[in-house]
Amino acid sequence: MRHIQVEKNPSLPEIIYKKLLELIKNGKFEVGVKLPGEKELAKFLNVSRTALREALQRLEMDGYVNRRHGVGTFVISNVPKLTAGLEKLESITEFVKTKELQPGTVKITVKEEKANSAIADHLQLKEGESVIHLERVRTADDKPFAFDIAISSPKMIDNDFVLNDPEESLFAHLENDKNTFLTHSHCNIYAENATAELADKLHVPVGEAVQVLEQVYYTKGNTPVYYGKSYIRNDVLNFHLIRRR
């Protein structure tokens, strides 16, 4: 007998969570504002205080509010707070989707340039060989959180990708159009202070520290495919790593 998948209706706390999140994101409850007390807020939303508490707990876990015992609940962010393990290699597009957010791409620039000695070494090319330099600002629910640079051979990032679907996951493009599967990367992680140009792209103050992931992506046969550098907002995405003795 074939199994039939039945869609599960959202619970009341889930509905309240989404409603409050909408009010935070559209500015009804601005960052820094103290939310109405539980009794007043429950009456405003026409819900029970028990269901409201569960929704507020999730908002706190997701980094949108801070609940202070005996003081109240304060809005501390209107951007999504994401966490990711460093053990798994996945595209930004797929990662954002797993968090039930809408991935997006803005401020796309593409140029052809000559590989300098560092890029040539990373990608096993000759210095001066042509490469495609792709820059994109990545968003989650329309909020910018990462500025991505990808550099590769024109054989991998070609005109078809650049002209037709530059918002697509680069991982998906390589797999679907180039039959190239990325299996691992060599990654360096460090911090930099945002320049004026980077601050404008990520909507952060000039000089604010951002996380940097600098990587070279490889196939199973250890063939380098592209060099990537991602500047990531600290207030939106945090990484964690399981360490074992």
SS3 of 20-50: HHHHHHCCCCCCCCECCCHHHHHHHHCCCHH
Domain boundary (22, 51, 75) is at 75
- Yes or no: say if 134 and 112 are a contact pair by the CB < 8 Å rule: no
Residues 55 and 110 in one domain: no
| pLDDT at residue 209, as a whole number | 95
- Closest by Cα among 148, 146, 150, 152 to 124: 152
Tell whether 90 and 27 lie within a shared domain: no
Q: What is the pLDDT of residue 235?
A: 83
Q: What pLDDT is attached to residue 6?
A: 44
Q: Are residues 67 and 162 in the same domain?
A: no
Number of domains in the chain: 2
Among candidates 170, 164, 179, 140, which has minimal Cα distance to 152? 170
Question: Residue for token digits 């650049």?
Answer: 162
Same domain, 67 and 112: no
- Alpha-carbon distance of 139 to 81, in angstroms, equals 12
Same domain, 99 and 219: yes
51 and 128 belong to one structural domain: no
Q: Write out the residue range of the structural domain in which residue 61 sits.
A: 12-75
Q: CA 174 to CA 181: how far, in whole Å? A: 7
Same domain, 86 and 66: no
Residue 7 lies in a domain: no
Which pLDDT score is estimated for 1?
Answer: 43
CA triplet 85, 238, 20: central angle to 5 degrees? Answer: 110
| Per-residue pLDDT of the chain in tens (245 residues, 90 and over written 9) | 444 444 567 789 989 998 998 898 888 999 899 999 999 999 999 999 999 999 999 898 878 889 888 899 999 887 777 777 778 888 888 888 887 788 889 888 899 999 999 999 999 999 999 999 999 999 988 889 999 999 999 999 877 776 677 667 899 889 988 999 999 999 999 999 999 999 999 999 999 999 999 999 999 999 999 999 999 998 888 777 777 77
Same domain for 210 and 112: yes
pTM: 0.74
Place of tokens 């990808």: 150
Residues 228 and 109 in one domain: yes
Handedness of CA 177, 224, 213, 200 (dihedral sign): negative
